[in-house]
Each structure stands twice: as structure tokens, then as C-alpha cells.
Structure 1
Amino acid sequence: MNKSSEINTIWNQLLPLLEKSLNKPIYEALVSSTKPVTINSKCLEIAVPNEVVKDWLSKHCVTLIEQEISSIYPEINKVEFFVGHSEMFTTPLLEETTSSEAAAKPIVASNPFLNQRYTFDSFVIGHGNRFAHAASLAVAEAPAKAYNPLFLYGGVGLGKTHLMQAIGHHLASSNPRAKILYISSETFTNELINAIRDDKTLHFKNKYRNIDLLLVDDIQFLAGKERTQEEFFHTFNALYENGKQIVVSSDRPPKEIPTLEERLRSRFEWGLTADIQPPDYETRIAILKKKAELSDLSIQDEILSYMASKIQSNIRELEGALIRVIAFASLHGSELNITLVDKVLKDIVGPVTAKTNISIDIIKKTAAEFYSISLDDMSAKIRTKEIATARQVAMYLARELTKSSLPKIGEEFGGRDHTTVLHAHDKIKTARKNDLEIKQAIKAITEKLKSYAP
């Protein structure tokens, strides 16, 4: 039963039933974005793109979905939702075939493995992404001739994946026989590990070195993986020397990726590096309008403008907020107004959002007070565990909540190097997932910082 074809057959029978039972905004904004994964002990496990969708479906739609699916397949009586990796919704274009099969099978533009929503037409251009968009379009129109490689970097949810896949769609449309592969660096690593384990490294090399366009997301996760970096280095060289296009994305520029081999770093800098900044107010409004338009929804400009003023961090949160508001209004039969928006978003929007006008000095002062250390300790060379932790938490918050560069943050903490700031940020980012004390400290300090936000 866990064969993907059988699960997809059941899913394709289920979707029309849900479309009839749910109103259009709920179905299009929530249900249509999900993906069935497996069946375990009569339970269908469904991947969703984010926590917003997971929460709404779990609270309001799970009973209906369970009833409908049991009516067509009685052996399934339960469904569960989990937030899947972004790549689950954008599966690689090349399947595991032999090299001869891969050469015989053209990749056509209608291939479903690139997210159909991620095209140049649906991308909203603003001040913060105009250069990256222009570079991506140039690459799509002249692969391996304009900029090779193209290195896109920026924060989470700013449109890197959208632009990468738009390049793939454009090339697939202009050259239906082009062989295109979109992956995450995590997938590249896992496939390499499996290939080594199963003695299929030749197949692995044939898969990755016989394509026309390689799109690799989150390349920063190759850092520290020596064998993976070595294999990617050889893959890069093979594609580049054969005139094939390479596009990679990261949350930071090549020079700021720690433990990345210098030979890889230099190759990433051979072509063009383009950054993507958080959208400004006007761009956020345009993004919301585009999202509403694509969902065939009519929403007052006043409401969209208000939401754009509240969500300032990234596009993913912006679109998630719109989905949440639409879903709430539809489920409760409420009028869509600013009062409702405030009610729905109150638990996800606060005065402190990513990149506020809070100064590093205030962050240092607030963190020092929380940890009961002096403000001078934040900049001193003292390395006791307590002071080091306080300093790293403050650096993490400075990186998350201000627009300051890494060198600027390092300067504010006693003239420390930008790599020290990056190390502190990554360490706390990882620690907050499992360390309750760190998690509570960040929450408490952030709450205190809200009183300083403009």
C-alpha cells in the first residue's frame, strides 16, 4: 500500500470530494498545498508546507478528511499532518534511472516536479530582489552564457527557491529536451551516502553529471561535510567544463559560509553573486495582491496594506498570514476586516519582527540584564561559560533583529571578527531547538525588547 502510485490513486479520488465539501478559499489555500506521503497502521500521513496549514487542517478539517477517505478506502480511518521539507513539494526532475535511460528520456516542460507556482510571471519584483530577478532571467534565457554559476543568497522565505525554479520552468519551456535537476544540498548529501553504501557511486555520478541545468538549494549545508564537498566539487567541474548551467542558493554569501573548502568558495565566486533583501512595504502589498489574485480572491486594499505593515520579515510569513486570515474568515463566516486581521494574527505578529529598528546596544543591555552580568562583559575578552552564552545569545538576536552586517555586529561586541558572530548565531540557532534554557532566554529577552520597538 505504500507504493507512491497507489497512495496517489487514493489521493486523487479524495481531492474532488474535499473540493466539493469545502469552500473554495479553504480548499485552494490549504488542502491543495498538501501531499500524501505514506500509510502506517491505517493512518494516512500527509505533508503540509508550513505550521499554519498544519494547525488549521488539524483543528478544523481532520474529521471531514477522515470521513471522506474512509468512504473510498475503509482500511484508512485516520490522517495525520506533519510539516514536510520544502523539497517534498518540489521533487527533483530526474528520477533514478540508468545513464542510458536518462539520455533517452527528455525532460519536458509539463513535468510536475518543479512547483508550478514558481515562475517568473508569479514573482513580484521589488527594490530588494530586482537585481537577483534580472540575473535569474538572464541565466534562464542564456544558460551557461550569462552568469555561471549564479549564486543567490538571502534570508529564509525571501524568494530564492522561487527564482531558482523559475529558471527551471523557463528553460523547460524554451527547450523541452533540457535535462533539469532541482535538489537541496541535503538531498545531494543523502544520495551520496546511499550511493557509497550501496556501491552505486557510478550511477550517482551519471545522474548529476549528465544534466543541462543543476539547481541546488541551501548550499550552506555542505559546510563541514568533506566527502560531500569533494563530490560536489567534481560535479561542479564536470558540468562547468561541459557548458552546463549551475545555480545555487544560500542564506549567506560564499565568503561567510564556515568550513566551506576554499576551492568550492572560489568556484561559487566565478560567476555572479546576487543577494535578496526583505521586501519593502510597497513590495509586501504587491505580494499580497498577487497571492490574492492567484487564489481568485477579492480583498480590500486597506486590509492588504494593514497586513503588509504588520508582517515585515519575509514572503513566506506574509503569505502564511494571508492564508490564515482567509481560512479564519471562511470557516467562521466572518467579514474580512482589520478587526478580524488583528484577532487572527495577534499570536504571530508582535512589535519585534525580523529586522526592526532596535539597536544592538539595547539588545546587549537587555541580554546583560537577563543574565545578570555587566554591559562591559558583553564586549570584554572574558570567556566564562555564563558570559560567553550571554554574548552569543545577544549576537544571535542582533543578527536576527537588526539590519546590521556581521562585521558591524562584531565591532559592537568588542571588535570581534565576523566569523565569530556567524559561529555564535549558528550555535544559538541550533541550541534553541533542543536547549530549553536557551529557548526560554531568547523568548524572555525578545519579550523585553518589544517595549523598545517603535
Structure 2
Amino acid sequence: MKHRCNDIWDRCLQIIADNVPAGSFKTWFVPIRPVKIENNIITVEVPSHFFYEYIEENYIDLLKKVLRREIGEHAKLEYVIVVNKSSKNGKVNLPSSVKPNTQNRPVAKPNSIKDKVHNPFVIPGIKKITVDSNLQKKHSFDNFIVGDCNRVASEAGHAIAQKPGETPFNPLFIYSKSGLGKTHVSQAIGIEAKKCYPEKTILYLSANKFKTQYTESIRKNTLNDFIHFYQMIDLLIIDDIHELTTEKTQNVFFHIFNHLHQSNKQLILTSDRPPIELEGIEERLLSRFKWGLSVELKTPDFQTRKAIFTAKAKQEGIEIAEEIIDYVCKHVKTSIRELEGILVSMVAHATINNQDVNLTLAESIVKQVVKNPQREVNVPYIKKKVSSFFNLTEENLVAKTRRREIVQARQIAMYFAREITKSSLTSIGAQIGNKNHATVLHACQTVENLMETDKKFRYLIEELRTILEE
């Protein structure tokens, strides 16, 4: 029975691996263990309640389809949650009105170190070292807007904050283009961990700051102090790790990394590219960067950009009309930092000139930031681009035919029209083949189902999305 259970689960994993990103598969499916199968019910073991909730929320539809394929129409899934009794559990929740305390307590020097340890942040060294965490309270999870672009990083971050050093996400390697929230989410993890574990020593710094401290320790002959200091940190966050390019600095960081990891201390690293694309970094370090979870922060979609901009405006204590927010978020697509900059400029101009934040002002500022404001994507534009992509004429796209390639292209056009534009289902159907709203709904569902189960089709959709948003 156990052998059959393992075989079935292995076949399920083969299908799942082809339908989810490699990083997500390693994070959310490799740790699952099959337990038994009885009466079409397969029981699996997951490492935590958080793990179970994440699977249920994000992958249950895929799991249902895979299990029905391998077991039968009446297949069911049950979970056994393994609780690590030796670890601390429970979450320390603070009222939203209470600001998180990011200050570290003095660090007790290990007994094995006989001499004084010099703090590279504060010199001279003393027996107990007060370490400034360098965490900014504004970068908490309370101010972090979650969307599809950053959901995995956010969920993994919460898990780490609950049990730093005890999850499979060690190190957590966060990468993205500039301005998409790497610093925010990495600091948010540190702030949340400090809430849960006030006694832990947490430190955030840039790779450049680390290099400067290392150089200074060589000059002053305090290298051992430098190493010992970092070996006492419980949660170390290093921003822009791709800038750690000198061989000697990498060598000392290698030893610090090993000590912390072997001591079940948490490491969080950020970069502008994934580990596999880092240049000038030693292979032995690169291999360690891949030990835990590597997660990309992607460009936020329109709804997420809108939620971010609205939240930032609320923090500034100003109200902005929805049409203005829509305009800004439709034209500024590549950077959250640009959105924040535009908001600051709008508030400054309105205050200095004693005027309201209006659409004219928004248009003027956006033109200064975005060289070529993007055209508004509407249904005719989508029809034109989808037709061109599939080497069809627009007349072919809306023609009354059952040819599979045309039907699928039309369904894809309907899917994007519903996702990107504000047009109603009835309007979309009228413009794409004179169909009713039920046909549009069916088309969207068909496309979504294919994206879940067909890897090549999913890549095709993402390629088209990039073309439409150019």
C-alpha cells in the first residue's frame, strides 16, 4: 500500500513540476511526504499549518486536477501537519497603533572569545555590543501591498519571521530590477522577526557597507573582531549582494555565511539578478545562495500598482481622485519607486502652488518621469496585436469558424480584454465576434485552465502580455 502511495505521488509530482516554476516546486512540493492511500483518499504530510494554508490557497485547483487524473474522479486529499515541538510557536501580535521596536538588545559575547570584540559599527568594542538593526519602521509588512508579483516573497517572509533559521528558506534570496521592493520586503521580515523575538539580534546593511567595514578591519588589524561580530548576528540581511565582487571580501563572507547557516541563523540576501546570472562571485558562494529559496519580485500589474499608489497617498494624508490614480498607474509600469516619486512631486507642486491635485498636474508630472506615456490598451488594440501574433487578419479573428487555431486566438483576445481593459463582458463579446457575455466567460475560463496545465501555453500567454504592455 505504501509503495502504491509513493508511486502515485511521484507521478503527481512529475505533472506538477511541469506546471509550476522550479523555485515554487522546490519550496512547496518537495517537502511534502505521501503517507497513505485508502478509498481514493491520499494523505500527505506537510511541515506546518502555514504550509497547508498556502497550498490550499494557491495550488488546490492544480492538485485536484492532477489527483483526479492519477487516482480517479472521486480522488480526495487529506493533510497531516507535522509540528516541531522543539521550536517556538505562536505569533506575537502587536496592536496596529503600536510601532514595532526594531532596536536590538546588547549582544552577549560568546565564552569562547576571550578578548574584546570590536563592533564595526561602533568602535571601540565592549563586552556587550549594542547593535543598531538599521531597520526603518516605514518598511514594515503593514505598509507592504501584496500582489501576484510579490506573493511568494511575502508568504516566505512571514514564515521566516515566525521561525528565523528554522524554515527551508535559508538563505532567502530576493531578486528583481531596481525599484520593485527588495529593500522593503527584506526589512519587513526583519521588523516582523523583531516583534516575535525581541531578544534576537537583527542587522540590515548593504554589501557596499560590508566591504567598507572589511577594508577598515584590515587597515586597523581587527579582522578577527569583524568576523566575530557578524557571527553573533541572529538574522543578517545584506542588500545588493551582487556588489560583493572583491575576492577577499567574498572569502570572509563565505566563512561568516557558513557559521551562521550551520548555527541555524537566518540569512536574507537581495540582488538585481538571480544567483545563476551573478558575475564575479565565487562558485562556492553561488552554490550557497541557491541552498534556500530564490524568489523574484516581478513588475506589479495594474491593480497592484493602484493599491500601492492609493496606500502611499493615504500615508501622506491626501485624497486623490480615482481617475488620477488610474492615469498614473496606467502610465507608470516599471517601478514602484517611480510611483512614489510621482506622488511626492504631485503633493509638492500642489502645496507650493496652492492648488488641488488634478489630472492636468498628474499628466504634466508623468510626462517628466515617463518619456513616452503608454497608450491605453483597449479592445481594438488587443484584437490587432493578437491577430498579428497568430498571423491572422482581424477579420479572421472574429470570423464564424470552428477552426481550432482561430477559436483559441479569439479566446485569448477575450481573456486579455477582460483582464487589461475596463470593458464589460457584453462589450468585449460585441467587439470580438459579436458574442454574448457567457461566451466571453467561457473563453476566459478555458484560457485560465490551459495556463494551469500547459507550460508552453502559459509561456505563450506571458509573451503576448509583454507585447500588449509595451
TM-score class normalised by the smaller sequence: 0.5 to 0.7
Question: How far is the alpha carbon of 1:343 from its aligned partner?
Answer: 1.8
**Shift in CA distance, 352/298, structure 1 to aligned 2, threshold 3 Å:** closer
One of 315, 324, 328 as aligned partner of 2:345: 324
Match of 1:96 in 2: 122
Which aligned pairs between 1:27-426 and structure 2 lie closer than 5 A? 95-96=121-122, 101-102=127-128, 105=130, 113-146=134-167, 147-223=169-245, 225-351=246-372
1:229-269, Cα deviation, whole Å (9 max, x unpaired) = 10110000011111100000000011100121110000010
1:206-247, Cα deviation, whole Å (9 max, x unpaired) = 221101000000000113x10011011000001111110000
**Shift in CA distance, 352/123, structure 1 to aligned 2, threshold 3 Å:** same
1:70-101, Cα deviation, whole Å (9 max, x unpaired) = xxxxxxxxxxxxxxxxxxxx999974256653
Q: Percent identity among equivalent residues?
A: 38
1:139-190, Cα deviation, whole Å (9 max, x unpaired) = 1111011111100000101111101111111111111121111010101111
CA contact (8 A) 2:133 2:204 kept: no
Which amino acid in 2 is paired with 1:178? K
Which aligned pairs between 1:426-437 and structure 2 lie closer than 5 A? none
Question: How far is the alpha carbon of 1:344 from its aligned partner?
Answer: 2.5
Which amino acid in 1 is paired with 2:138? R
Which amino acid in 2 is paired with 1:205? I
CA contact (8 A) 1:222 1:260 kept: yes
Which amino acid in 2 is paired with 1:279? P
CA contact (8 A) 2:230 2:256 kept: yes
CA contact (8 A) 1:114 1:169 kept: yes
CA contact (8 A) 2:133 2:201 kept: no
Which amino acid in 1 is paired with 2:190? G
1:16-39, Cα deviation, whole Å (9 max, x unpaired) = xxxxxxxxxxxxxxxxxxxxxxxx
Question: How far is the alpha carbon of 1:293 from its aligned partner?
Answer: 1.1
Looking at structure 1, the residues matched to 144 and 103 of structure 2 have their Cα atoms a distance apart, in angstroms, of 20
- Secondary structure of the structure 1 residue equivalent to 2:204: strand
Looking at structure 1, the residues matched to 220 and 193 of structure 2 have their Cα atoms a distance apart, in angstroms, of 33
**Shift in CA distance, 233/352, structure 1 to aligned 2, threshold 3 Å:** farther
Looking at structure 2, the residues matched to 112 and 243 of structure 1 have their Cα atoms a distance apart, in angstroms, of 19
CA contact (8 A) 1:92 1:113 kept: no
- Secondary structure of the structure 2 residue equivalent to 1:258: coil
1:96-122, Cα deviation, whole Å (9 max, x unpaired) = 25665346x5x6xxx683111001111
Question: How far is the alpha carbon of 1:203 from its aligned partner?
Answer: 1.6
1:39-60, Cα deviation, whole Å (9 max, x unpaired) = xxxxxxxxxxxxxxxxxxxxxx
Looking at structure 2, the residues matched to 304 and 255 of structure 1 have their Cα atoms a distance apart, in angstroms, of 37
Looking at structure 2, the residues matched to 92 and 333 of structure 1 have their Cα atoms a distance apart, in angstroms, of 43
The aligned length equals 264
Question: How far is the alpha carbon of 1:309 from its aligned partner?
Answer: 0.9
CA contact (8 A) 2:134 2:203 kept: no
**Shift in CA distance, 227/155, structure 1 to aligned 2, threshold 3 Å:** same
Identify unmatched segments of 5+ residues in structure 2: 1-101, 106-118, 386-467
Q: CA RMSD in A?
A: 2.7
CA contact (8 A) 1:205 1:235 kept: yes
Match of 1:20 in 2: none
Looking at structure 2, the residues matched to 319 and 310 of structure 1 have their Cα atoms a distance apart, in angstroms, of 14
**Shift in CA distance, 277/92, structure 1 to aligned 2, threshold 3 Å:** farther
CA contact (8 A) 2:235 2:265 kept: yes
Looking at structure 1, the residues matched to 469 and 165 of structure 2 have their Cα atoms a distance apart, in angstroms, of 46
Looking at structure 2, the residues matched to 291 and 132 of structure 1 have their Cα atoms a distance apart, in angstroms, of 21
Looking at structure 2, the residues matched to 145 and 98 of structure 1 have their Cα atoms a distance apart, in angstroms, of 33
**Shift in CA distance, 258/228, structure 1 to aligned 2, threshold 3 Å:** same
Looking at structure 1, the residues matched to 217 and 141 of structure 2 have their Cα atoms a distance apart, in angstroms, of 35
**Shift in CA distance, 248/159, structure 1 to aligned 2, threshold 3 Å:** same
**Shift in CA distance, 193/112, structure 1 to aligned 2, threshold 3 Å:** closer
Question: How far is the alpha carbon of 1:347 from its aligned partner?
Answer: 1.8
Which amino acid in 1 is paired with 2:194? A
Looking at structure 2, the residues matched to 313 and 154 of structure 1 have their Cα atoms a distance apart, in angstroms, of 11
Identify unmatched segments of 5+ residues in structure 1: 1-89, 360-451
**Shift in CA distance, 453/243, structure 1 to aligned 2, threshold 3 Å:** closer
- Secondary structure of the structure 1 residue equivalent to 2:361: helix
CA contact (8 A) 2:172 2:269 kept: yes
Question: How far is the alpha carbon of 1:138 from its aligned partner?
Answer: 1.1
